[in-house]
């Protein structure tokens, strides 16, 4: 047999991978998935209770930071210097609920300037930062 034992003076370990257990496990998983897949498609109709709950508190307005291709910083479409932006960021960071920051930058902007603005946000203590991107243009056939 080709199992590599101690008979015949061969003292080497078996070099072939035994795939039989792997095939057995895969067949068992296949059967389990075949049985459970139809159960996942059926919805369970549940009549949920209705409650008279208070309205949720509105989320704070997001801060919109923009950086143009020359590196100028804009706070909600108003041009600001780095120092003024840092002061506004620190004021926003001490609020009870931190507002999210939506950061949009020109695609030709240098990475250095973007990291400087991110460092300002970190220095101010604002951690909820999201990058705004443009939707890709739809391809026409």
User: Rounded CA gap, 107 and 52, in Å?
Assistant: 48
Distance of CA 70 to the CA centre of its chain: 29
Q: What is the CATH number of domain 63-131?
A: 3.30.420.270
What confidence tens digit (pLDDT) does each residue in 49-98 have?
A: 666 767 556 566 888 899 988 889 999 889 999 999 999 999 988 888 88
Taking 3-state DSSP, the helix, strand and coil percentages for the chain, each rounded to the nearest 5, stand at 35, 15, 50
What confidence tens digit (pLDDT) does each residue in 18-51 have?
A: 889 999 999 999 999 998 887 777 665 665 566 6
**Per-domain boundaries in the chain:** 63-131
């Amino acid at each position: 047999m080709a199992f590599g034992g101690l008979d015949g003076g061969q003292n080497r370990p078996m070099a072939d991978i035994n795939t039989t257990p792997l095939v057995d496990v895969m067949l068992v998983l296949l059967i389990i998935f075949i049985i459970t897949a139809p159960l996942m498609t059926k919805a369970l109709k549940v009549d949920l209770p209705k409650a008279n709950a208070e309205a949720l508190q509105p989320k704070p307005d997001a801060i919109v930071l923009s950086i143009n291709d020359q590196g100028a910083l804009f706070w909600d479409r108003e041009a600001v210097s780095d120092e003024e932006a840092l002061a506004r960021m620190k004021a926003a960071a001490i609020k009870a609920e931190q507002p999210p920051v939506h950061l949009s930058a020109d695609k030709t902007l240098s990475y250095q300037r973007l990291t400087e603005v991110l460092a300002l946000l970190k220095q101010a203590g604002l951690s909820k930062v999201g990058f705004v991107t443009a939707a890709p243009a739809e391809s026409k056939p």
